[in-house]
């Protein structure tokens, strides 16, 4: 069975992420979405909240599971018999960021990385930008799954 890992901080998960997951799920027998902490990013949601939001956003995908990852992505993949990492690319800058990480994952975990290009309507989606729009009172419903939009609204009303 071909299994792939789609890791990310998903703070929050966007429609672009969901599209990558859906497309990858057509290529692989099983997709594991790994929700991780990124210490270089300011989080809106806790790890547990992000895991729950990702689960709600991909609930219709029968071959997708959601886990939290603590530690190195490559080590998680090795420990769980996963040989391929999935990454989405919106632009050349994403590739410049992702390529050395993919090379490192190959060195430390003998992992392949498969890049899927974002669809044109998703190339401008970035979790950090969506958070800024929401914090400024903007409507983000067309950029994130419905459970995420609701959770963001509730979080910002506090």
pLDDT in tens, 115-140: 999 999 999 999 999 999 999 999 99
DSSP 118: P
Q: What is the pLDDT of residues 21-56, one digit of tens each?
A: 999 999 999 999 999 987 777 789 999 999 999 999
Residues assigned a catalytic role: 17, 41, 90, 127
Q: Is 126 annotated as belonging to a binding site?
A: yes
The class level of CATH for 3-157 reads: alpha beta
Domain residue extents for the chain: 3-157
pTM, whole model, 2 decimals?
0.94
Q: Is 124 annotated as belonging to a binding site?
A: yes
Closest CA to 113 of 36, 20, 37: 20
Q: Is 89 annotated as belonging to a binding site?
A: yes
């Amino acid at each position: 069975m071909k299994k792939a890992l789609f890791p990310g901080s998903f703070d929050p998960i966007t429609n672009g992420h969901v599209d990558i997951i859906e497309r990858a799920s057509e290529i692989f027998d099983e997709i594991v979405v790994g929700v991780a902490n990124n210490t270089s990013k300011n989080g809106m949601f806790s790890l547990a909240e992000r895991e729950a939001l990702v689960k709600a956003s991909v609930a219709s995908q029968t071959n997708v599971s959601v886990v939290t990852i603590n530690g190195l992505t490559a080590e998680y993949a090795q420990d769980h018999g996963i040989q391929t990492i999935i990454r989405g690319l919106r632009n050349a800058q994403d590739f410049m960021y992702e390529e050395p990480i993919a090379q490192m994952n190959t060195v430390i975990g003998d992992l392949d990385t498969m890049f899927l290009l974002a669809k044109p309507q998703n190339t401008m989606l970035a979790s950090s930008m969506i958070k800024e729009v929401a914090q400024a009172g903007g409507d983000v419903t067309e950029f994130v799954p419905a459970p995420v939009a609701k959770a963001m609204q509730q979080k910002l009303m506090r």
